[in-house]
Structure 1
Amino acid sequence: MPEHVAPLQLIGVTALALATVAWVVVLTRVLRHTRREAAAWHTARVLPLHPHQLQAGPPRESVELTPAEQDAFAGLVRRLGGR
């Protein structure tokens, strides 16, 4: 024990040091517990940013044309192609 320090001062510094250590331990446990609860709550409430899309668009349709329809379409394309 240092000669120039009163016993009451040593007791006070020791008490403050023990209180600081206890405060750090309690604060660490509370923060860990809160972080675990927040993570559990967050994983339970995660919402996707975009809704899941089943397909990009409507299904593609195709129709077989008769030879007369094919000729009419070809004539239409020739007429519109000249513009």
Structure 2
Amino acid sequence: MPQHVSILQLAGVAFLALVSVAWLVGLLRMLRRARAEATVWHTGSAALYGVPEQRQSGPHREAVELTPAERDAFALLVRQLDDRR
């Protein structure tokens, strides 16, 4: 033991080292537990009550027949947009 270091200083360093190790162990346990809970959450075993029920299919598709003039105008528009590339 060095001559210029008191027993209280050595005890303080030892205490801080012990507290740091305990904090690190607690942090690692907390992160492991959070990761395990996230895995359970991602499997879908627990329902999310705040989210409304989702549709299983998309919305109704609508189709409109174009006249020949509308088809020609659309083709012209597509050509103009394609030329801009």
SS of residue matched to 2:3: coil
Cα RMSD (Å) of the superposition? 1.8
Shift of 1:38: 0.7
Task: Give the 5 Å matches for 1:33-52.
Answer: 33-44=33-44
Shift of 1:2: 1.3
Give the structure 2 partner of residue 7 of structure 1.
7
Number of positions where the alignment pairs a residue of Structure 1 with one of Structure 2 = 48
Instruction: Provide TM-score, normalisation by structure 2.
Output: 0.51
Give unmatched runs, 5+ long, in structure 2: 46-55, 58-85
Give unmatched runs, 5+ long, in structure 1: 46-50, 53-83
- Could you tell me how far apart the structure 2 residues matched to 1:4 and 1:44 are? 62
Shift of 1:44: 1.2
- Could you tell me how far apart the structure 2 residues matched to 1:12 and 1:39 are? 41
Give the structure 2 partner of residue 28 of structure 1.
28
Partner AA of 1:44 in structure 2: G
Shift of 1:33: 0.4
Instruction: Provide TM-score, normalisation by structure 1.
Output: 0.52
Partner AA of 2:41 in structure 1: W
- Could you tell me how far apart the structure 2 residues matched to 1:27 and 1:18 are? 14
Give the share of equivalent positions with the same residue, in percent. Answer: 55
Compare CA radii of gyration and give the structure with the larger one.
1
- After the TM superposition, list the runs of 4 or more consecutive aligned residues in structure 1 that deviate by more than 2 angstroms: none
